[in-house]
Amino acid sequence: MRQKRIKYVDESLLATHGVIIDLCERDFPDQPLEIEIGSGKGEFITRLAADNKDKHYIAIERNKYVCYRIVEKKEALKLNNLTIILGDAINLNTYLGRHKVDAIYLNFSDPWPKKRHHKRRLTAPSFLPIYQHLLDDNGILQFRTDHFEFFIDSLENLSSTFDIMHIDKDLAVSNYMTEYEVKKRLSGPIYQIQGRKKHVTQTL
Ligand SMILES: C[S@@+](CC[C@H](N)C(=O)[O-])C[C@H]1O[C@@H](n2cnc3c(N)ncnc32)[C@H](O)[C@@H]1O
């Protein structure tokens, strides 16, 4: 999706606001961690962080202009339990290192409708080992979209590494909605999948 350019925003400005811009392992507070991947302008994650001060939240977003919108919200709400990363989900295990998260949120990820682009979807099989490594035992993944075919494809992919706990085909309005969700609700239902990390028995 094309995002509006903000003339004065660059990596060094984001860094002065505490955004992680370098690809290296970081230290996170010793609190339960939750992460949103592709946070967009940050409405969902900043609200969660404001309401749950006992947890630490991470927003990872690869577009610097929308990343700056998260910064604005973080500062307006004076959130010190939110870390913002300007980066790509593919590198999550590098940023997180030894840290494990309790929840991963994928909200209105790009649907990449053309078949030849499905491998770019954040629920494509290549991303699942990253999520498995990142999640603590019993960790959950929550995926939300307005795109039916993307929902069905994601359900199939996620079922291989997650025990599906809930499927919603017309999700109710909540206090935690992204900018896209608010917009997409005007034209149809919202789909949601919640899954718990499957335990893989290791054999030596
Ligand atoms: C369709 S927008 C949705 C934004 C927000 N989640 C919402 O619901 O309003 C998808 C966002 O995911 C980001 N994104 C896509 N792939 C990503 C990746 N591999 N790593 C980090 N961010 C990504 C895009 O830059 C974009 O801001």
Protein residue whose Cα sits closest to atom 24 of ligand 1 = 38
Ligand 1 atom with minimal separation from the 144 CA? 8
Beta carbon of 39 within 6 Å of any ligand 1 atom = yes
Q: What is the DSSP string of 53-116?
A: TTSEEEEEES-HHHHHHHHHHHHHTT-SSEEEEES-GGGHHHHHTT--EEEEEEES-----SGG
pLDDT of residue 202 exceeding 60, the answer is no
pTM across the whole model:
0.96
Q: Is the dihedral of CA 188, 43, 47, 153 positive or negative?
A: positive
pLDDT of residue 201 exceeding 80, the answer is no
Backbone angles phi, psi at 198, to 5 degrees: -75, 145
Q: Give the SS3 label for residue 50.
A: helix
pLDDT tens digits for range 140-169:
999 999 999 999 999 999 999 999 999 999
Distance CA 13, CA 108 (A): 27
Question: Pocket of ligand 1, candidates 1, 73, 85, 185: which has the most ligand atoms within 8 Å of its Cβ, to mutate?
Answer: 1
Other CB atoms within 10 A of residue 105 CB: 23
Phi-psi region of 97 (alpha: psi -120 to 50; beta: other; left: phi over 0): left
pLDDT tens digits for range 43-70:
999 999 999 999 999 999 999 999 999 9
State in Å: Cα 29 to ligand 1 middle: 25
Question: Pocket of ligand 1, candidates 108, 143, 186: which has the most ligand atoms within 8 Å of its Cβ, to mutate?
Answer: 108
Complete domains list, the chain, with CATH = 11-197 (3.40.50.150)
Beta carbon of 91 within 6 Å of any ligand 1 atom = no
Predicted confidence at residue 180, as pLDDT, reads 97
